[in-house]
């Protein structure tokens, strides 16, 4: 009997050693990165401080932010679409106040982030299965997970019972919608899959769930969906949605970049996949949106077969840049010493990066290590 017990304990020890240990905080923001941001704010170091000024001035980053909700049901479309912009602002307030807490040390921001999340955890019951449900779960769920990663792994004052309630909301309301997206045949443009996976990999880290993490990594690399690195960007840099419009192309690229940054914080380099394919995608989009027409374009058959009729690159939203460029530039240029000339031109044009409803944004503060060079 003693031998059997010893054997079981031995096997358990082996299994435990094989389990992944996640870095915390470690979704979009590592402790090293948060410390850097604190120094930037304290010393008013440019260019990052410019993004901080935009962040601190945003209504959703205010410690006196007034909730629109909470709501029992939230939706981007259908019967409950009236909640869309209101709940988006509320969840942005949770994330941005969590960031403000970390970069300023003002605990009123931590209290506000906790208040917003707990209010929804007490009331929210469902994301109905409308067309946009996966987008909602991905976009807003990512804000929640990033806020919680910061709050739980700092002296924010969040209580155990509050964590339990908010975790239940994530696992019972948001994650099932993401899981359902993965279980059906591909049917959307690629920004959807990238957005869902950004939330999913973040939740995997937050919950220390190696199975979820591996699933997200595998989807990014090998998934049969438009929202993967191989299916969203071809080897010339063309985007699956380049023939649709430039706004959605940047939306998808931003989500893929976030997945890479999250994995990087856990020691995994997705940025290098397919010979730095993500770099090629950003350079392609930057070049075209800066006014250059000499980019290659082919009509390709997407994974679903539904979006294969765009015969030329779209000029819809051309030149309207969204704040997704600092993150990838920081990795490929600041970390790796590669060149991104067109992305650099975009950054010079739009810096400092400010707010975006669907992206982490504020990248000149959040994802820019140039102060250390």
Return the higher-pLDDT residue of 10 and 348: 348
Share of the chain above pLDDT 70, in %: 94
**What mean pLDDT is predicted for residues 259-275?**
99
**Residue 11 confidence (pLDDT) above 50:** no
Q: Is the pLDDT of residue 370 over 90?
A: no
Q: How confident is the model at residue 217 (pLDDT cuts 50, 70, 90)?
A: very high
Q: Which residues contact 264 (CB under 8 A, 6 or more apart)?
A: 270, 271, 331
Q: Are 289 and 322 in contact (CB under 8 A)?
A: no
CA–CA distance, 232 with 5 (Å, rounded to integer): 51
pLDDT range class, residue 10, cuts 50, 70, 90: very low
- CB neighbourhood size of 164 (10 A): 10
pLDDT at 371: 62
* pLDDT tens by residue, 156-205: 999 999 999 999 999 999 999 999 999 999 999 999 999 999 999 999 99
What is residue 315's predicted lDDT score, i.e. its pLDDT? 99
pLDDT at 316: 99
Please state the rounded mean pLDDT for residues 216-245: 99
Q: For 93-133, how does the pLDDT look when each residue is reduced to its tens digit (9 = 90+)?
A: 999 999 999 999 999 999 999 999 999 999 999 999 999 99
Domains of the chain: 31-58+66-367 (1.50.10.100)
pLDDT-wise least confident of 7-11, 281-285, 294-298, 300-304: 7-11
pLDDT at residue 282, as a whole number: 99
Q: Are 235 and 179 within 8 A, CB to CB? A: no
Record the pTM. Answer: 0.95
Considering the chain, what is the average pLDDT of its residues? 96
pLDDT of res. 312: 98
Instruction: Look at residue 1 and tell me whether its pLDDT is greater than 90.
Output: no
Region 323-335 average pLDDT: 99
Largest CA distance in the chain: 76
Position 140 confidence tier, pLDDT thresholds 50, 70, 90? very high
């Amino acid at each position: 009997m003693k031998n059997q017990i010893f054997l079981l304990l031995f096997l358990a020890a082996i299994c435990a050693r094989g389990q992944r240990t996640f870095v915390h905080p470690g979704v979009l923001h590592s402790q090293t990165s948060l410390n850097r941001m604190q120094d930037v704010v304290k010393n008013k170091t440019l260019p990052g401080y410019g993004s901080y000024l935009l962040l601190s001035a945003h209504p959703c980053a205010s410690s006196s932010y007034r909730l629109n909700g909470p709501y029992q049901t939230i939706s981007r479309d259908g019967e409950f679409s009236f909640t869309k912009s209101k709940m988006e602002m509320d969840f942005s307030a949770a994330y941005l106040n969590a960031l403000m807490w970390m970069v300023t040390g003002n605990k009123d921001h931590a209290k506000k982030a906790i208040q917003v999340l707990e209010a929804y955890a007490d009331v929210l019951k469902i994301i109905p299965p409308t067309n946009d449900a996966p987008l909602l779960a991905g976009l807003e769920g990512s804000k929640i997970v990033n806020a919680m990663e910061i709050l739980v792994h700092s002296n924010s004052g969040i209580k155990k019972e509050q964590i339990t309630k908010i975790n239940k909301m994530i696992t019972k309301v948001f994650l099932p919608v993401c899981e359902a997206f993965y279980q059906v045949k591909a049917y959307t443009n690629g920004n959807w899959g990238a957005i869902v996976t950004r939330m999913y990999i973040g939740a995997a880290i937050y919950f220390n769930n190696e199975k979820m993490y591996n699933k997200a990594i595998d989807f990014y690399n090998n998934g049969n969906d438009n929202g993967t690195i191989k299916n969203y960007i071809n080897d010339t840099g063309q985007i699956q949605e380049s023939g649709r419009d430039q706004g959605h192309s940047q939306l998808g690229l931003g989500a893929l970049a976030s997945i890479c940054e999250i994995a990087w914080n856990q020691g995994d380099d997705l940025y290098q996949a397919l010979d730095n394919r993500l770099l090629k995608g950003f350079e392609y989009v930057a070049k075209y949106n800066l006014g250059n027409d000499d980019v290659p374009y082919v009509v390709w058959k997407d994974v679903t077969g539904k979006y294969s009729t765009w015969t030329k690159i779209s000029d819809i939203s051309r030149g309207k840049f969204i704040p997704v460029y600092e993150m990838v530039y920081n990795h490929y240029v600041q970390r790796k010493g590669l060149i991104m000339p067109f992305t650099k031109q975009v950054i010079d044009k739009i810096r400092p990066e400010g707010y975006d409803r669907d992206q982490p944004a504020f990248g000149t503060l959040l994802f820019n290590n140039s102060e250390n060079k």
